[in-house]
Amino acid sequence: MLVLVGGPDTGFRRRNGDVLRLRGPIMHPMMKPALRRGWRDLTTVQFGMVPAHALVLGPLDNATGGFLTLLDGTRGLPLLRDEGRRMGLPDGHVDALVERLAESGLLDDATGDGPGAAALRGKDAVIERLRPDLASLSLVARAPGAAMERLAARRSLRVQVRGAGRVGATLASLLAGAGVGAVDVRDGGRVEPSDVAPGGLPAESVGERRDLAARRAVRRAAPDRPPRASASPGARDEPGFSLVILAPRTGVDVYAPAPAVTAPLIASGTPHLHAGVVEGTGVVGPLVLPGTTACAGCLDQERSDRDECWPRMVAQWRSGRPRRTEACDLAVASTVAGLAAAHALAFLDGALPSSAGARWEVSTPDFVWHARPVRPHPACPCAATGEGNEEHTAPEDGGPHETMTGQQPATSVSRTAHAAQRSGTWRAHV
């Protein structure tokens, strides 16, 4: 539903419940380059093509329409005010226009936001690598300068990927390539020919230790070398990970994740995401927020309730002779790695993706994704409240939440509201 805000005389409309605030003074305003511009008629301009992000502005007089071309990030507000006066715009019009554009999510700040963003802007080669990611972030980080702030924040995060097969190694490389500062990969054994995948482990790594080969792939994918972080090599569950992703190479561990494996993560309050491929079926989720959303133990308890043979079947699957070859084709593995990386990045950037409290599954040959809810189970010791299955949470200022161990965001926003916000074209009158 669209709601008129700012008083009846402003004509500015925005989505219901979407709180937008400027992050300090806008130093060098620029129209977000990710949104293509097109004039619907002489007085109405549309930014963006797809309904998820498109916005229509109008009616605009000739002077205001011409002034929009000056919002390219090369001028500060004082100079823009002078330019506005020369174009015949009344006093205060430039500031009001800039504020409304910022609130509508159309405006970025070429010089903000914060010391981390400033440091990142100083790395020209890194910025060029990450410019498409920055443009994509600008569509969801609506406040001016927020996209650069979130991209800079990624560089301080630590993620661990457990599993360096076709899914895990590719997933880890995607996270590193997207700007996550430290991506650690854990796995045993040596690389086999069946582990090789585009974007993951290369053919020349066959015979090498899996963890070392995967870490080398991560370094190749990263836009630059992150600061070295101290770590104890013998620790399995190091504190301080923003997220742990479990991407096992064996199908039974994907389909029936062992609660004992994730118990230390639950105890330490570490968010973790499950992902993998089993018998040609890709699985992403659940994203587990300890104490809030359902975990592997909840899934196991629920299956035991529905099927009294479940514990017996799992025991047989685990005790049988290991399969020499898993049914994990490249297309499905790459798809799972991509979606899992997207969910992980959404969480790290401050959102709560749909994998919280659900497993997304896709199978050959129809390739239609299905969400299967995973609900907290009263018999599971994880003490999940189930709140994460009903409500999503986000900071009041719309910025990234803290995703380090034990941190939880504060303000609730329903999942239904998020779904509603992704549809429709907005209209603002300037």
Strands 182-186 and 158-162 come out as parallel
The predicted-structure confidence for 229-285, as pLDDT tens digits, reads as follows 544 455 454 448 999 999 999 999 999 999 999 999 999 999 999 999 999 999 999
Say yes or no: 37 and 186 in one domain: no
Model confidence at 430: pLDDT above 80? no
In a domain, 352, yes or no: yes
Strands 358-363 and 281-288 come out as antiparallel
Alpha-carbon distance 108 to 110, whole Å? 6
- Who wins on pLDDT, 303 or 27? 303
- The residue range of the domain holding 293 is 156-394
In a domain, 111, yes or no: yes
Closest C-alpha to 146, from 424, 425, 418, 351: 351
Could you tell me the CATH number of the domain that includes residue 286? Answer: 3.40.50.720
Q: What is the number of domains present in the chain?
A: 2
The predicted-structure confidence for 345-398, as pLDDT tens digits, reads as follows 999 999 999 999 999 999 989 899 999 999 999 999 987 765 544 443 333 333
Say yes or no: 89 and 69 in one domain: yes
Model confidence at 8: pLDDT above 50? no
In a domain, 243, yes or no: yes
The predicted-structure confidence for 164-209, as pLDDT tens digits, reads as follows 999 999 999 999 999 999 999 999 999 999 999 999 999 999 999 9
Cβ 152 vs Cβ 116: under 8 Å? yes
Predicted confidence at residue 142, as pLDDT, reads 87
Say yes or no: 187 and 212 in one domain: yes
Predicted confidence at residue 226, as pLDDT, reads 67
Say yes or no: 136 and 160 in one domain: no
The predicted-structure confidence for 71-123, as pLDDT tens digits, reads as follows 999 999 999 999 999 999 999 999 999 999 999 999 999 887 677 787 888 88
Q: How many C-beta atoms surround the C-beta of residue 330 within 10 A?
A: 14
In a domain, 409, yes or no: no
H/E run at residue 285: strand 281-288
Say yes or no: 86 and 144 in one domain: yes
Say yes or no: 240 and 302 in one domain: yes
Alpha-carbon distance 294 to 373, whole Å? 9
Predicted confidence at residue 177, as pLDDT, reads 96
Predicted confidence at residue 412, as pLDDT, reads 33
Say yes or no: 313 and 354 in one domain: yes
- Amino acid at site 305: D
Predicted confidence at residue 120, as pLDDT, reads 84
Alpha-carbon distance 114 to 155, whole Å? 14
| DSSP states along 245-258 | EE--SSHHHHHS--
The predicted-structure confidence for 319-357, as pLDDT tens digits, reads as follows 877 667 899 999 999 999 999 999 999 999 999 999 999
Three-state secondary structure along 77-109? HHHHHHHHHHCCCCCCHHHHHHHHHHHCCCEEE
Both tokens of 222, joined, read 């990263």
Strands 55-57 and 107-109 come out as unpaired
Lowest-pLDDT choice from 139-153, 193-207, 405-419: 405-419
Nearest 5°: CA angle at 163, between 158 and 164?
95
The pLDDT-based confidence of 3 (bands split at 50, 70, 90) is very low
Say yes or no: 146 and 165 in one domain: no
Q: 0.75 exceeded by the pTM?
A: yes
| DSSP states along 371-382 | EEE----TTSTT
Instruction: Point out which residues pair with 201 in neighbouring strands.
Output: 196
In a domain, 175, yes or no: yes
- Who wins on pLDDT, 19 or 221? 221
